[in-house]
Amino acid sequence: MPKIETFPNRHPDRDYDIEITCPEFTSLCPKTGQPDFATLRIHYVPDRLCLELKSLKLYLFAYRNQGIFYEHVTNKMLDDLVAAVKPRRMTVEGSFSVRGGISTVVRAAYEARRPRKR
């Protein structure tokens, strides 16, 4: 996977929210090989680092021809982003489009063990 890049948070003394919406995520179904489409939402409170958006775009692009399940892609993305950005809190939500008349949303959250006091 491409490296998720970061830049220094200039306001680390304050808990603040960053919400990122990517309506153009696509991967493949690991069973059928057919394309899946999703809107991803990433919501985090930065600590020392902020997520660099261009590298996020390339990271998401890397899933394009990968077969991966809804539940797994959402949790793996949370793990990868937490590892790179080391946020105080982070949520990743994937809204996957209709398959067989059924749509699915998967939502996973991370909270740092010793959060800074607000």
CB 101 within 8 Å of CB 77:
no
For 89: left if phi > 0, alpha if psi spans -120 to 50, otherwise beta; the answer is beta
Residue 115 DSSP symbol: P
- For position 99 contacting a copy of itself by CB under 8 A, the verdict is yes
- For position 30 contacting a copy of itself by CB under 8 A, the verdict is no
**Smallest distance from a copy of itself to CB 34, Å:** 7
Per CB under 8 A, residues contacting a copy of itself are 9-11, 14-24, 26, 34-35, 37, 46, 50, 53-54, 56-57, 61, 64-65, 71-72, 74-75, 97-109
